[in-house]
Every structure is written in structure tokens, then in C-alpha cells.
A and B are shown apart, each in its own frame.
Chain A
Amino acid sequence: MAGRGRGVAAFTFNIDALGISRGSMPEARVGPSPLFPSIDFKPVPLKAGEDEDYMLALKQEMRATMQRLPHNIKPQSNKSEVERYTERYLKKSQIEDEDWTPDWSLFPKELMPQTKKPRAKAGTKKKPVKISRKETEDMLSKLDELAKNDDRNPEKSDDETEKKPGNEEEEEVEAEEYDEEDIEEENDYIDSYFDNGEDFAADSDDNMDGEATY
């Protein structure tokens, strides 16, 4: 307070020791720094050559391919009622093996999807007796398999060997059911892997073949 009257900007230390004088202070900031400040030195141009062009092409192709693979998971989108004419042509460029059959031995047990489809068909009972529910599920899944059975040799699967003993009974039963379906349809389309009414389910593709022309 004593120094207030005379020299307002009086430093508490000897300014010469730092090598700066009062006149060489930078201006006080009036606001945030600009978003795109002008730079004194322009950046060096990119390297351009055969290698770089090739890698660029590789990168763009890889991006396009990975977006079409089944690994690319799209959120649930409302399917438009009427399919636009040109989308039919775009769909033809999709990769054929739409679904992906992972090897379950590499993944933890809990990531296997539970079979919801038979449960949905089992009935609208709120609290069904567990035993009878299992029975109806068994029946329905067997009927499903019989319906879709088109004399393919079942492939040996090593899913059954991996069983966590700590699992609940129900989970085990459902997992077995799943395995049987897996054996049945060791092709691209596993119905229980995806929810009903999804784009990638096998049904929509089958329907496409029989569709009439516009």
C-alpha cells in the first residue's frame, strides 16, 4: 500500500538480474488466443511418391473393406419401408459372408448370446414353471432344427468340450441348444446369433431371391 501512490508497477525484486527491462514486457492478453493463429513459417509439404500413393490407396481400401465386414457393428436402424431402387445395386457390393462365426473356445463363456428366439415363442406366461418352459423350448428348438435341416453333414465342433462347471443349469441347457443349432447350420447364417428382424439375418437374403422385379 505504501508504494501505491508513487510507482504502481514496482517489482519486488531487482529486474535487471533476469536480463529484462520494463519496456520489453509482452502485451497483456485481452482474451483467449485465436483458434487458427497465423503462423510465421509455412509447414513443409507432404512427401509425394510411389510409396506414399500406394499406401494411401491401401489405407482407403482397407477403410472401405473394414466398414463392410461383419465386424463393423451398426446400431439398430429403422429399415425404410420401401427399398430405394439404387440401394439394391449398392447392396450387391456387400461382402457375401455377412455373418461371422467365431470360435467360441477363444472367448469367455458369457459372451455367447443366449437363445432368445424359442423363449419368445414359448408363450406369454409371466412366470412359467421352469421345467415345462424348458420342455417347450426343447420342443420348439427341435422343431426349428428339423424344419431347417437340409441334409448337411454336421461338422465336428469343439464347443461342447468347453463348459464352465460353475454355470447355472439353464444356461448350460441353452448353451447346448445353441451348440446343436451351431452344428446344424455351420454355414453363414446362424439365426440365434442376431435378434429377430435384423438386417443381417438369413431370412432377408433368402427373400430377396424370390422378390419380384419392380
Chain B
Amino acid sequence: MTAQEVRLCGLLLHEHFGEVVEKVGTHLLRSGAQNLRTIIHETGLSVDLVKKSLMVLVQHGACLFSSGRKGPGSPTEYRSGCDRILRILRYPRYIYTAKTLYGDTGELVVEELLQRGHMTMSGTVKTVADRLTQNMEEGRSMDYSEVSSAFSKLVETHFLQRCPKLAGAGTADSTTSAIPPTPESFPDCYKVPHMTLVGRGKRQLAAEDGEDQRNAKRQKMDSEVDEGIYWQVNFERFHLHFRDQAIISAVANKLDQTSSEIVRTMLRMSEVTTSPAATCTKPLSANEIFRSLPASYNIPRPILDQYLTLLVDDPMEFVGKAGESGGGMYVVNLHRALANLARATLESVVQERFGSRSARIFRLLLRKRHLEQKQVEDFAMIPAKEAKDMLYTLLSQNLVQLQEIPKTPDYAPSRTFYLYTVNQLPTARMLLQNCYKTVANLIERRLFESKESKRLLEKSQRIEAILASLQASGAEPEQLTEVEEMITAPEKQQLDALKLHINKLDSAENQVDETIFLLESYVNSTATSTV
């Protein structure tokens, strides 16, 4: 829970849930597990607001509660973690992935679940059907069964999962373990309840707003078959998908399209058999790979073997050979691929910030581990003075570390070796924190820009609202143009420039998040393995 992470989480909470939740959330992040009274006392907010904020945080999975430390009788404690809140940055990517895999229906399902935290299946289906019906032409409406099938497909491929039943929620005898159960520990985590939802989406007509609402309320009165079964988005599964995508695109960039298709086939075949934290996929024989290649790729068998040999020999080590049976057993080295991708990220960061010669020195040090000053100059083929300069710049930015090896016990400088080295993992962590700081700065700049032009933005919003209502009530074109002219031309220019800036800042946030994802996956993978 570093300072940068907490600052970024605070900004994200503020943007999406409001200031009150931000206060409570950042307080929980900084202070660890606390009970309700302490939170109320230390944040100084009213009891009601604190309770509501905690409920919002629990609803979205950002906060967990458990019975107190002193035993079952003590008040419940709430603790919050940075990871879940930082996922908010990645919501657009999740929704977009769902769209590419399952179409508009899947996209809306995932969007609803992300916005609401967790929902029942019937609730989600109804809301999504209504939304889809809104956008369809007059007279057509979306059937519930289509939405249900999209929902079931998402559950089958594990993109959605049931929320874990929290044992300590209402009962006093919560003698379960201190760690809250993970969703995976429940056997029917991915089981869709048997229910047939019959109906079609309701279109919300503007004139009959009130009546429609009452009808909708009456519908809710019908008994819900899946009361109490809540679904949430399974972020880990999305992360595995992103990781696979990153590996495939890296292979495509380095080699060619066909090799990336081969790797894609291998990853697809081992989707269900590989555990999320596995170092490499299960071994696949070349025969199986040949049979599972997509029909459009008609490569003959010997060519496939050549491609596989090429992939194995590649220094990136994405694919490894694990045996000879079945025409050769091949695995995809997941952790090593992540490490290589992270290393490529580090190298490109150095290259873009300090130039290609500094990048050469950096790559040299990554390869050769420890080098003296003189050796760096020789291997990198850079004149001594410039090499010195670059090394010291990298050292001051903490991308390169100095290792002292004394010849004598008193560490006398004249009799000590000073070796330059790069440690990949700590450097990756440092860059990850830099990324968090970057995103926080981007958000703050965006808020600053909108605050500067707040008056102008409000004016344009009001004019849009008036225009919309005028159009809905059928006004003449002259009235519309008159209202539009309320914004002067220079103001329009200012608005356009503002929009451009805000779009750029938002887009930058999305793209920094891709780097964050890579570095985070790498750091997490090293936590479990020793590669």
C-alpha cells in the first residue's frame, strides 16, 4: 500500500463514488483493518454517511469485513485493499474484451455488473434487455432468452462467477477462518441456476414514464427463483485473457503471423487445463497442435514442425520443448514470457527517456549482470566520457545500481571494485509505482482542466439540455438555432480545445494502464515462482 497507490485509489474513488466514499476508502487503506466506531471517529463524518459508504465499498468488493480480532463477540472489522480499487482503471478494457468475444449483449452484461458491483442473474438480464430494446428500432424488442444465453456463455468460460457467501454476515458463531473464502472455494461457483426467464425487454417511452415505472415495480413482485445468488465479474480470468493476448501479439511482432497463430492455438487448447498461477502450460504434442489448428491455416506438417523448432530456438523463450513423444511435446513458458515482456518494457522506457545509447548500456547490463565502468565502455562501444555521463544519469534515476566488492575489510575506495548492475524485479516495481503516479497526475490534470472551464462546461450542458427538451417537444428550427447561438464562436473553440485535452488525458490513462497490467502480472508471477 504505497503512497502513490493510495493517492491513485483516492482519486478513482472520488471520480466514481463521490467524496464521502473517497474519504472512508482512503482512511481504510491507510489504517488497515478497523471497526465501525473507529472509522466514524477518525473520519469525522456522520454515522449515516459512513455506513452508506461502507455498504457501497462492500457491494463493489473493495472492502471486506470479518469478525473482530478479539473473537466472535467483538465488532466486525473492515479492511480494504488497493488492488480491487485499481481495477477500476481497467473497466473499459474488460468491457471492450467482452464486446469482441460475445458481442453487444455480452458487453452490456459485463458493463452492468461492473457498475453495480454484484447483481442477480434475473436482474441483469432484465436491465440489459431493456437497454438493448432502447437502442433498437420501433416495434422490436430484445428477448430475455438471448441475453440469458449470453450470460450463460460468460459463466461457462469463467468470465463471471458467483459471489462467495460470506459466513460471518449475520450469524454470531462465525468460527470460520480469518481469511474470507475466495469465490473459487465454492463448488458451484460457475453453475448457472436453472430458471427460464420469459419476457422481452421493455422500451421506456418518454410520455409514459410514470406508468412504465409502476409496471416495472409490479414485475419485481414476482417471486425470484435466484434470490440470493449474486454474480460478479471474474477479473482474474480477464487478466489471463489479456496475458495470452500480449504473448500472441509479441510473437506476431517478433516472428510472423503463422507462428502467432500456432501459439494462439496452443494457448487456446490449454485454457482449461492450466491453473492461473502455472509457470507453463501442460505439454502439448505436435500432433494435437496440428489437428487443432484453425481450418484457414493449411500448413503442411513438416512446416509446422519447422515453425515449432523456430519458436523453441528463439531467444525470447516463449515456447519450450518438454519431450519427444507424439512428435515433440511443447509448452508455452508463461512466466518466462511475462518476464521477457517486462524486460522489453523496461528497455523501451530507458530508450524513450534517455536515448538509444543509454538503452544499449542498459541492455548490456541486463545481459552481463555485473560490469565495471571500463568494461561498460568497451562492450557498449561508446566513448568513455559519454558512457560515464549516461551511467551516472541512469544511476541517479535508480535504474542502475552500484555494487561494491571490497578487496580489503575496510572498504577503502581505492581498493574496492565498483560494479554496475541492473536488478530486473526491483526496477520493475519502481516503474510500476511510477506508472501509478503518472495515472494519478493525469487524473489530477484532467480535473484541473475541467475546473478551469467549469463555467463554460456548465453553460454548454444547460444549452444542450434545453435543446434536447425543445426537440422532444417539437420546436421550430429557428428556435433551435437561436438557442445554439447562445454559445459564441470563441467559446466554441475553447470548448473544442478543452474536449481535445480531456480526450487525450483519458486516452493516456487507458494506455498507461496497459503497461501497469504487464508490470503487475510480472511482479505477481515472481511472487509464486523463482524464475
Contacts and interface: CB of A to CB of B under 8 A. Distances in A.
Specify whether A and B are partners.
Answer: yes
Contacts of A194: 48
A18 B55 contact: no
Contacts of B412: 13
A121 interface: no
- Residue among A13, A19, A66, A106 with the most chain B CB within 10 A? A106
Contacts of A51: 96
Nearest to A165: B172
Interface size class of B (residues with CB under 8 A): 35 or more
Interface string A174-214: 00000000000011100000110000000000000100000
B352 A44 contact: yes
Given A54-B96, A59-B506, A158-B227, A89 B16 contact: no
Contact of A71 (B59, B92, B220): B59
Interface string A83-114: 00010011011001000001101111111110
Interface in A103-143: 103, 105-113
A73 B168 CA distance: 26
- Residue among B36, B92, B210, B353 with the most chain A CB within 10 A? B92
Interface string B392-405: 10000000000000
Interface in A26-85: 26, 39-41, 43-44, 46-48, 51-52, 54-56, 58-60, 62-63, 65-67, 69, 71-75
B228 A103 contact: yes
Interface in B490-527: 503-504, 506-511
A105 B167 CA distance: 10
Contacts of B93: 55
A52 B509 CA distance: 11
Contact of B353 (A19, A41, A166): A41
B75 interface: yes
B228 A58 contact: no
A162 interface: yes
B355 A41 contact: yes
A65 B172 contact: no
Interface string A4-40: 0000000001100111100010100000000000011
B73 A18 contact: no
A74 B56 CA distance: 12
| A interface SS class | loop
Interface in B226-273: 227-228, 230
Nearest to B119: A103
A56 B166 CA distance: 36
Contact of B354 (A41, A46, A47, A93): A41
Contacts of B374: 19
A162 B413 CA distance: 71
Contacts of A73: 17-18, 20-21, 49, 52-53, 56
Given A13-B414, A43-B352, A108 B461 contact: no
A93 B55 contact: no
B422 interface: no
Interface string B338-354: 00000000000000111
B115 A105 contact: no
Contacts of B166: 106
B15 interface: yes
A58 B392 CA distance: 43
Contact of B511 (A24, A46, A69, A108): A46
B143 interface: no
B424 interface: no
Given A105-B170, A112-B51, 11 more contacts: A39-B353, A56-B92, A62-B92, A62-B111, A66-B15, A66-B17, A71-B56, A73-B20, A74-B20, A110-B75, A162-B169
24 contacts: A17-B415, A19-B374, A40-B355, A41-B353, A52-B510, A54-B96, A56-B503, A58-B91, A58-B111, A59-B510, A62-B95, A67-B18, A69-B116, A71-B117, A72-B17, A86-B465, A93-B465, A106-B169, A107-B58, A108-B168, A155-B220, A158-B228, A164-B170, A186-B221
- Going nearest first, the 5 A-B pairs with the smallest beta carbon separation are A162-B170, A89-B465, A13-B413, A14-B414, A58-B92
